[in-house]
Amino acid sequence: MAKKKPKTKQSSTPKFKKPSLTLTNQQKLIFGSLLIIIGFILGTAFLSYFFTGKADQSILNEFSLREAEAENWVKKLGAMLSDIFVYRGFGVAAFIFSGLLIRSGLHVLLDVNHAKLRRYWFWGMYLMIWISVFFGFFGEKHSILGGTVGFETNTYLQDYIGILGVALLLFFGLIVYLATRFKITIHSFIALFKSAKKDISDELKSDSEAFVPFDNSLTDEAEAIKSANKVVKSEKPKPEKPAPSVKETIPEPTPVVEFEPIAPKPVNEVPISTFEVEAPKEEITTETAELKIETVEEELSETDNLSNKLVADFGLFDPTLELGKYQFPPLDLLKKYDNEGISINQEELEGNKNRIVETLNNYKIGIASIKATIGPTVTLYEIVPEAGVRISKIKNLEDDIALSLSALGIRIIAPIPGKGTIGIEVPNKNSTIVSMRSVIASQKFQKTDMQLPIAFGKTISNETFVVDLAKMPHMLMAGATGQGKSVGLNAVLTSLLYKKHPAEVKFVLVDPKKVELTLFNKIERHYLAKLPDEAEAIITDNTKVINTLNSLCIEMDNRYEMLKNALCRNIVEYNTKFKARKLNPNDGHAFLPYIVLVVDEFADLIMTAGKEVETPVARLAQLARAIGIHLIIATQRPSVNVITGIIKANFPARIAFRVTSKIDSRTILDGSGADQLIGRGDMLYTQGNELVRIQCAFVDTPEVERIVDFIGAQKAFPDAHLLPEYVGEEGGTNLDIDISDRDKLFKDAAEVIVTAQQGSASLLQRKLKLGYNRAGRLIDQLEAAGIVGPFEGSKARQVLVPDFIALEQLLENEKNN
Ligand SMILES: Nc1ncnc2c1ncn2[C@@H]1O[C@H](COP(=O)(O)OP(=O)(O)OP(=O)(O)O)[C@@H](O)[C@H]1O
């Protein structure tokens, strides 16, 4: 397939090329206009030949005689050239040649797109030969239209393949031309045919509607038929909602509860209650529609024609091609547990339900109905109270119900949002493990089209819970020690490793505890990002985190600049455009992988670095969503001096594992609940208002080890993904750099910077394939030469030279001084 061609690979690592045309502007003017004039003269001569050719036959041999006069509008030269090109050459198709000359002249004059010109010439010559052979096919009678080339080629071909053979060959030639030049496919023919058919039937329909007789009775009849049809349509049976697993109605006045057996829900089945987490469908549709409109508009432009051509020739740009043979980790690296799947303890269910009803009855609260939904660790009893019962009354009985059920971790949700019921969550005596394997294997995760899907675990209705980190867009995770945070982080990373190619996502891992994330060192060159001068990708030293965070801010600014130049609003649009080859890598564009920053112990960082950490984190959290940088921050200590107001405001997605106090719960979730969890991966998730209780998927260290070993053993990128360098406050430049001491690549570097109009060392690293130190030195030298401005913190340096000509002049002046 085209996208697997090694050719594409070349384009995936574009090198900066010097402009190949070395003509000066004056030379371009002279040469360009010469070509146009020649083309024009030829065109005139050819046209004249069809009127004056016969008369000029005689003077063709008397070219050198001055007195011999030609009737051609371009006189003797015209007569001779048209004899060569039209009569002895290609007939009417010779006009194409003069057209090509004029077009070439314009290209040289205006200095535009030479690659395109080569294509024009190729297809122009092709068409010339085809037209000439086509007219030649009709014999000597029309020899002037096909020229000698057409006639002779025809007779030659007919001797070998006969008339039918030549006709078929011509037809094939035409198909090749139409298919390649106009991208015509068999489908476009079918579509054309279909639309024509539809137009005709529409027309017939509108005609018949236009001829509705002015007979009232008839019209009424038609109306009646129409409305009858409508009724029939609207009476179509609606799809039935799945029945709840346990449902019972308590008849008045004394409620009697009949508990039916509760069937376990198979994994992946449509749940009883669904928590919509994925983005609404319309959002995606609008985005796609906007993209489509954009594409249609841009297709008109020149650049788009070129990119379409490139896509036709090489296929869409494939960022995964550099590691084309990369294999995703197989499912069997993850452990299968024996006690997976829900086992129902009928006695327990019955007992719990009776106790709930009794407790409520003791307080004179009548129940209209009760049903249970069994989850992996808790069972949700949904109660519909009798009319007139105050909800707050039930809410206040939380402790009493907990006492009567003699269970920890009872949570009352009154009312369940979006439902007219009250929920009582009661932990199961024997909880089941939700394995990472089961959630990764689920259809919901496998078939998802989310950008950064995370399979967290299972909801209370045993439904696999998958969310898109790209939509969150940042996540705060808190919980007391030993309640499942590290497992949660591993579940996030594992989900992404199972779904995203190394070229599509990069992790920046911060692990002050030095133990939790070190395993991921093995996939440094596949999935990790780091600062250019760092030996280790995983950051364990708090002081280094500050540099990394600031570097991410620079990366963010660079990406915004790239998006701005590409007229894109977010990373998805940008990458779509880049894949469609609408963005030129020579202009500083590149495929942007998502970057996920994971901080395992944020409290530790804030305690040691305070504002220095808070400011870049808040900045990233505020701005980085559109450009594909996402933050996941975990902490054991959810106190207000760790999770500050500014951090909280920018992390809408929050996860709480069990915490010890209501205050901690409130700090994370803005409400209680996390203090009533039972631990071991029992968690609450919120992305706004609604709280979802989830049993986090369990992934053990040996499983993660097997995954990273599997990935680590495969071919990797030469280095970890390099983030832009960040020179701390102590960093400065020595502006007295001697011209003779300059790097050999100084001029190339200057050209790269001026072309991209972006003064960043990382750009030089990418384009010229340099290490960090050399690129940094080059930037210093460029600053000394006055090509880029001074260091500006997190922003890219300003480029002080507007274009190539100014650069040439600047360097020339330097030499002369
Ligand atoms: N989703 C889960 N399912 C089952 N058991 C779990 C789950 N998550 C955690 N556990 C159990 O809890 C233990 C502690 O989990 P984990 O190491 O993730 O806690 P932690 O919150 O990261 O603790 P610390 O903050 O001290 O690192 C695990 O070893 C495991 O036995």
Question: Quick check: 21 pLDDT over 70?
Answer: no
Q: Are strands 682-686 and 691-696 parallel, antiparallel or unpaired?
A: antiparallel
CATH fold of 245-263+342-430 reads Threonyl-tRNA Synthetase; Chain A, domain 2 (3.30.980)
CA dist., res. 99 & res. 43, Å (int): 8
Compute the distance from residue 637 Cα to the ligand 1 centre, in Å.
16
Strands 629-635 and 594-599: parallel
pLDDT at position 771 is 72
**Tokens of residue 760, six digits:** 């960043």
Of the candidates 103, 471, 143, which has an alpha carbon nearest to the alpha carbon of residue 278? 471
Percent of the chain clearing pLDDT 70 (strictly above): 79
Q: What is the pLDDT of residue 205?
A: 52
CA distance 174 to 165: 14
CB 670 within 8 A of CB 655: no
Residues 233, 237, 238, CA angle at the centre, nearest 5°? 105
User: What value does the mean pLDDT take over residues 379-408?
Assistant: 80
Is 702's C-beta closer than 6 angstroms to any atom of ligand 1?
Answer: no
- Identify the pLDDT of residue 319: 85
C-alpha distances in angstroms, 418 versus 262, 361, 393? 24, 26, 20
- Which residue is listed with tokens 């869409």? 316
- Taking the CA of residue 487 as reference, the ligand 1 atom at the shortest distance is 18
Please say if the pLDDT value at position 728 is more than 70.
no
| DSSP annotation string for 402-424 | HHHTT-S--EEESSPTTSS-EEE
Angle at 752 between CA 746 and CA 753, to 5 degrees: 90
**Comparing 383 with 282, which gets the higher pLDDT?**
383
**C-alpha–C-alpha distance, residues 594 and 470, integer Å:** 9
Place of tokens 């965070």: 549
Distance from residue 377's CA to the centre of ligand 1 (Å): 15
Are 317 and 11 spatial neighbours (Cβ–Cβ below 8 Å)? yes
Domain boundaries, the chain: 11-184, 187-234, 245-263+342-430, 436-712, 727-816
Instruction: Provide the pLDDT confidence category of residue 13 given band limits of 50, 70 and 90.
Output: very low
Report the Cα–Cα distance between both ends of the chain, in Å, rounded.
56
> What's the gap in Å between 473 CA and the centre of ligand 1?
25
SS3 186: helix
Q: In whole angstroms, what separates CA 252 from the centre of its chain?
A: 57
**Mean pLDDT over residues 501-506, rounded?**
94
Q: Which mutation among 377, 636, 660, 680 tests ligand 1's pocket best, with the greatest number of atoms within 8 A of CB?
A: 680
- Residue carrying structure tokens 């780091």: 530
- CA–CA–CA angle 737, 743, 747 (5° rounding): 100
> Is the whole model's pTM more than 0.90, yes or no?
no
Element (H, E) at 695: strand 691-696
Contacting residues for 94 by C-beta, under 8 A, at least 6 apart:
42, 46, 82, 85, 86, 128, 147
Can you tell me whether residue 788 is helix, strand or coil?
strand
pLDDT tens digits for 732-752? 444 556 677 788 888 889 988
Q: Is 55 helix (H, G, I), strand (E, B) or coil?
A: helix
Q: Residue 521 and residue 524: Cα distance in Å, rounded?
A: 5
3-class state of residue 386 by DSSP: coil
Pocket test for ligand 1, best of 434, 486, 490, 684 (most atoms within 8 A of CB): 486
Give residue 344's pLDDT: 73
What is the pLDDT at residue 450?
92
The answer, yes or no, to whether residue 506 has pLDDT greater than 90, is yes
The tokens for 697 are 């998927």
* Sequence-distant (≥ 6) Cβ neighbours of residue 362 within 8 angstroms: none
pLDDT band with cut points at 50, 70 and 90 for residue 217 = very low
Give yes or no for a contact between 430 and 343, defined as CB atoms under 8 angstroms apart. yes
Mean of pLDDT values over 18-31: 70
- Of 456, 483, 684, the residue with max ligand 1 atoms within 8 A of its CB, to mutate for a pocket test, comes to 483
The pLDDT mean for the chain works out to 77
Pair 757, 799: CB distance under 8 Å: yes
d(CA 802, CA 587): 14
Amino acid making up residue 22:
T
Residue 683 bridge partners (DSSP): 694
Q: How far apart, in whole angstroms, are the C-alpha atoms of residue 144 and residue 155?
A: 15
Mean pLDDT, residues 509-533: 88
Amino acid symbol at 760? S
Q: Judge if the beta carbon of residue 481 lies within 6 A of ligand 1.
A: yes
Cβ of residue 698 lying under 6 Å from some atom of ligand 1:
yes
Compute the distance between CA of residue 461 and CA of residue 374 in angstroms, rounded to an integer: 6
Residue 638 has pLDDT above 70, yes or no: yes
Distance, CA of 158 to CA of 148 (rounded, Å)? 15
Cα(140)–Cα(148) distance, integer angstroms: 9
Which atom of ligand 1 is nearest to 457's Cα? 1
Annotated binding site: 479-486
Question: Cα dist. 718→108, 128, 523, 570, 714 in Å?
Answer: 41, 49, 12, 28, 12
Report H helices in 375-527.
Answer: 391-395, 398-404, 436-441, 443-446, 485-499, 524-527
Tokens standing for residue 673: 């609940």
pLDDT for 814 beyond 80: no
CA of 482 to the centre of ligand 1 (A): 5
Q: SS3 for 679?
A: coil
For atom 25 of ligand 1, which residue has the closest CA? 481
- Ligand 1 center from residue 515 Cα (angstroms): 14
Question: In this structure, which amino acid lies at residue 298?
Answer: E
Which range has the top average pLDDT, 65-69, 556-560, 810-814?
Answer: 556-560
CA dist., res. 377 & res. 365, Å (int): 27
> What interhelical angle do 761-768 and 772-784 show, nearest 10?
120
User: Residue 361 is which amino acid?
Assistant: N
pLDDT of residue 26: 81
What lies within 8 Å, CB to CB, of 50 at 6+ separation is 86, 144
Confidence of residue 253 (pLDDT cuts 50, 70, 90): very low
Q: Is the CB of 681 under 6 A from ligand 1?
A: yes
CB 352 within 8 A of CB 425: no
Q: What is the spatial distance between Cα 366 and Cα 255, in angstroms, rounded to a whole number? A: 7
Which ligand 1 atom sits nearest the alpha carbon of residue 489?
18
Distance CA 119, CA 312 (A): 13
Cα separation, 465 vs 470, in Å, equals 15
Q: Is the pLDDT of residue 343 over 50?
A: yes
Count the Cβ atoms, other than its own, within 10 Å of residue 256: 9
At 261-284, the pLDDT tens digits run: 333 333 333 232 322 323 333 333
Q: What is the pLDDT of residue 191?
A: 65
Confidence class of residue 438 from pLDDT cuts 50, 70 and 90?
very high
**Cα 393 from Cα 401, distance rounded (Å):** 12
> What class does CATH assign to 436-712?
alpha beta
Angle formed at CA 370 by CA 369 and CA 374, multiple of 5 degrees: 160
Burial of 623 (0-12, 13-18, 19+ CB in 10 A): middle
Ramachandran angles phi, psi of 220, nearest 5°: -60, -40
> What class does CATH assign to 727-816?
mainly alpha
Higher pLDDT, 715 or 253: 715
Mean pLDDT of the 91-106 span: 89
pLDDT score of 201: 61
Q: Return the amino acid letter for 653.
A: A
pLDDT tens-place string over residues 100-136? 999 888 888 777 667 678 888 888 999 889 998 888 8
CA of 529 to the centre of ligand 1 (A): 27
Cβ(476)–Cβ(651) below 8 Å:
yes
Query: Quick one: pLDDT at residue 192?
Result: 65
486 CB less than 6 Å from ligand 1?
A: yes
Take residue 554 and report the two structure tokens written for it.
Answer: 């620079």
- Tell me the pLDDT tens digit for each residue of 447-499: 999 999 999 999 988 889 999 999 989 999 999 988 999 999 999 999 999 99
8 A C-beta contact, residue 315 and residue 3 = yes
**What are the tens digits of pLDDT across the range 224-241?**
334 333 333 333 333 333
Concatenating the DSSP letter of every residue in 605-634 gives HHHHHTHHHHHHHHHHHHHGGGGTEEEEEE
The β-bridge partners of 632 are 475, 598
Binned at pLDDT 50, 70 and 90, residue 20 comes out as very low
Q: Per residue in 156-214, pLDDT tens?
A: 888 888 888 888 998 998 888 888 877 777 766 676 666 666 656 655 554 444 333 33
Higher pLDDT, 762 or 571: 571
CA distances to 218, 550, 556 from 508, rounded to whole Å, are: 75, 13, 14
Is the predicted pLDDT of residue 758 greater than 90, yes or no?
A: no
In testing the pocket of ligand 1, which one of 437, 464, 487 has its CB within 8 Å of the most ligand atoms? Answer: 487
Q: Is the CB of 680 under 6 A from ligand 1?
A: yes
